[in-house]
Amino acid sequence: MFEFSGLSDDKELMPFFFMFFLLVYMVTIIGNLGMVAIVYAFSSLHTPMYFFLSSLSLVDLFYSSVITPNMLFNFFSARKSISFLGCALQLYFFCALASTEIILLSTMSYDRYVAICHPLHYTLIMTKKKCFGLVLFFTSLSFLQSIAHVCCVFSLPFCGSNFIDHFYCDIPPLLKLSCSTNSLRRQKAFSTCSSHIICVLTFFTAIFFTYLRPHSGAFEIQDKVASIFYTTMTPMLNPLIYSLRNQEVKRILVQAMQKSRWFR
């Protein structure tokens, strides 16, 4: 059994944190579900770009649900605990879905590259079968590589304290509880790839700060703040950045609202 420290020890801030992250989670759910529904409902959006957008929304939906509900529950829990198996599962799905999101962002970059540089051959290159195959292959690959992350971390001997100085099960705070050396695990903990600029800056800056800085106990609070961005904020921002700013999606939303009974 592990215990979390949470975001803060200040109990007066708990109601604010709860309301803020509940709002963020609700926007995340509504925004990503809305994007999937729009792409599914309108045949004009049945293109590779929107297929990848809807896939990204599904990943964000599950990705945020791995961390946020438990974090919300722990805001008012006297004992913020999680079982050994629960911690392993949380880390597994967190790593798997985070990797899937990274690869999806890169795949979306490839799709835009083909559309811009090879417009005449775009439909021949980015077929439905190929798009589905890319998403299925990379998702399977991400879930397989996540097994390696979890096995490496939980094969280490844990001794002494079971106190995780974080609000969820992540690799760096778990490594602190290990009795053995983990320098090799730290060297292979993270790798990056090119992606869309806005989400990359939000997503990777926080991860770089957490995983690639020199080890020091003085940055524990900053670690938690950085983790907030790639566990709760990025899944909320993705449908706004990639979807609601898209002119085609905005046009369809306006048409749908005009046709609905509410706006008659």
Three-state DSSP string of 230-248: HHHHHHHHHHHHHHHCCHH
Q: Which domain holds residue 116?
A: 2-259
Is 222 inside a domain boundary?
Answer: yes
- pLDDT at position 181: 63
- The answer as to whether 210 is a domain residue is yes
Task: State the pLDDT at residue 191.
Answer: 40
pLDDT of amino acid 77 = 80
**What's residue 190's pLDDT?**
39
Q: Is residue 54 a part of any domain in this protein?
A: yes
Task: Return averaged pLDDT per consecutive 10 residues of the chain, 264 residues in all.
Answer: 79 86 91 89 87 91 90 83 89 92 87 88 90 92 89 82 82 81 51 45 56 54 65 70 65 75 52
pLDDT of residue 188: 47
**Residue 253 belongs to a domain:** yes
Decide if 237 is inside a domain.
yes
Residue that has been written with the tokens 């992606």 in this structure: 195
Taking residue 205's Cβ as centre, other Cβ atoms within 10 Å add up to: 13
Provide the H-helix boundaries in the chain: 14-41, 48-74, 84-117, 122-125, 128-154, 171-176, 183-187, 197-211, 220-228, 234-239, 247-259
Task: For residue 264, tell me if it sits in a domain.
Answer: no
pLDDT, position 195: 40
Which pLDDT score is estimated for 167?
A: 82
Q: pTM for the complete prediction? A: 0.72
- Give the pLDDT of residue 81: 84
What pLDDT was estimated at residue 100?
92
**Per-residue confidence (pLDDT) for residue 2, from 0 to 100:** 83
The enclosing domain of 249 has a CATH number of: 1.20.1070.10
Q: Please tell me the total count of domains within the chain.
A: 1
